[in-house]
Amino acid sequence: MRVALLQSASPDGEASTARRERVLSQVRALDPDRTDLVVLPELWATGYFHFDRYEAEAEALSGPTVGALRAVAAERGLHIVGGSIVERDSAGALYNTTAVIGPGGELLGHYRKIHLFGYESAEARLLTAGDGVLVTATPWGPLGVATCYDLRFPELFRLLADRGAELVVVVSAWPLARLEHWELLVRARAVENQVFVVACNAAGGQAGVELAGSSLVVDPWGVVLARGGTGPAVVRAELDPGRVGAVRAEFPVLTHRRLGGR
């Protein structure tokens, strides 16, 4: 399984429409013979720290951003985890929502971020927390989704593993100031659940906050298969879907649970 993480930037002076076209062009430029799954970062079109844009740029899952990603997925035959958008539901509530798209352009599922960030951030004030998890089938095994601050809540990742996830994709806008926590938590979530973690982070500056980049792909033993730098980039890795079963058979830690086990 070949993954490509688009570690993109959302600079202050770039309009979201221009950014959407730029990033979609990058997705179209990926060679489908070398790419199975594409992952984008959190709120890449609006910019996570552009809180003043949330209300104006909120859209439905049937709106332009997810619609464009679905068209590209079908055109190129790719699975896409579309980063996230500010979603407005039919009642007017706003969510930080990730769409998972199949290679025919079908919407395989969506996840609304559960743990909204409130430290030096307006996200928790402006958005509504989700209340459900997502694990969806793929040709490489069940795929779960989490978003940024979710990394600090291991019970979510254990729930995803309990529901069968063998790969967890994390979309994020993690600041450079807490870079060490980023790698520590991504690797810990992979090791403790014996899953692949594919973590795509935004890069560059937004509203005075420098983002970490440093996207990671980590295997179920905690081995880093790929790591991005701090600037915009495409980070690639190849995953062996059989690795999850092999690690769990060799070191069956999940069968030794005594609290909250299945």
Catalytically active residues, by annotation: 42, 113, 148
Distance, CA of 194 to CA of 40 (rounded, Å): 23
Strand partners, 198: 169, 217
Provide the residue count of the chain.
262
Is 261 strand, coil or helix? Answer: coil
- Check: CB of residue 199 under 8 Å from CB of residue 235: no
Which of 110, 100, 103, 97 lies closest to 72 in space, CA to CA?
103
- DSSP H or E segment with residue 79: strand 79-81
Query: What is the rounded CA–CA span in Å between residue 129 and residue 87?
Result: 12
User: What distance in Å separates the CA atoms of residue 117 and residue 148, rounded to the nearest whole number?
Assistant: 9
Gyration radius of the chain over CA positions: 17
Residue type, 242: G
Distances (CA, A) of 34 to 29, 37, 54, 233, 237: 11, 10, 35, 16, 10
